[in-house]
């Protein structure tokens, strides 16, 4: 076989493998969004721990780092078992939101972080409920269902922080 033929065969095999992986993970978009969101929560939580002067916001940030780091590891294990390739960083929009927060200070930072966490957790709960109820991949559905109590607890906690700080819901 000449070099060109071997390359062509390798390309076909690679394409077939990619199609096979996609076929094995009908909920690949959920995996991607969950991984990006989890990484973003950890990064934003670290930022809150560093930048906030409010103990409640710092504590919430610490909870984000701890809970979402654990959740991210569980998701990575499921994805590895299913040969689903996860992103290695948050989405561009999530990185942009973090960049905006990085230049804020004091009460402006706290208010923006709190509002962002309320909105993010409301959206996450909707996406995870949809996956838990309608997903095709049993492992993704189980991960989503198991994560919902944590996400709901986070939303309740950040709403309490917002109320204490006089921050309106987004």
Q: Express each pLDDT in 82-94 by its tens digit.
A: 899 999 999 999 9
Given a cut of 50, whether residue 23 has pLDDT beyond it is: no
What the chain holds in terms of domains, given with CATH numbers, is: 27-165 (1.20.1260.10)
Percent above pLDDT 90 for the chain? 79
Given a cut of 80, whether residue 133 has pLDDT beyond it is: yes
pTM for the whole structure: 0.83
* Nearest of 82, 69, 14 to residue 38 by alpha carbon: 69
Cβ contacts of residue 153 below 8 Å, gap of 6+?
Answer: none
């Amino acid at each position: 076989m000449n070099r060109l033929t071997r390359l062509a065969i390798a390309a076909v095999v690679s394409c077939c493998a990619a199609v096979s992986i996609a076929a094995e993970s009908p909920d690949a978009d959920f995996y991607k969004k969950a991984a990006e969101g989890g990484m973003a929560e950890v990064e934003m939580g670290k930022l809150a721990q560093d930048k906030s002067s409010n103990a409640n916001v710092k504590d919430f940030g610490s909870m984000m780092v701890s809970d979402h780091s654990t959740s991210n590891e569980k998701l990575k294990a499921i994805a590895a078992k299913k040969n689903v390739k996860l992103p290695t960083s948050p989405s561009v929009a999530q990185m942009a939101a973090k960049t905006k927060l990085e230049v804020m200070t004091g009460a402006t930072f706290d208010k923006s972080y709190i509002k962002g966490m309320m909105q993010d957790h409301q959206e996450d709960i909707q996406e995870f409920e949809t996956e838990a109820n309608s997903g095709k991949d049993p492992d993704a559905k189980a991960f989503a269902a198991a994560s919902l109590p944590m996400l709901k607890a986070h939303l309740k906690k950040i709403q309490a922080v917002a109320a204490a700080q006089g921050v309106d819901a987004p």
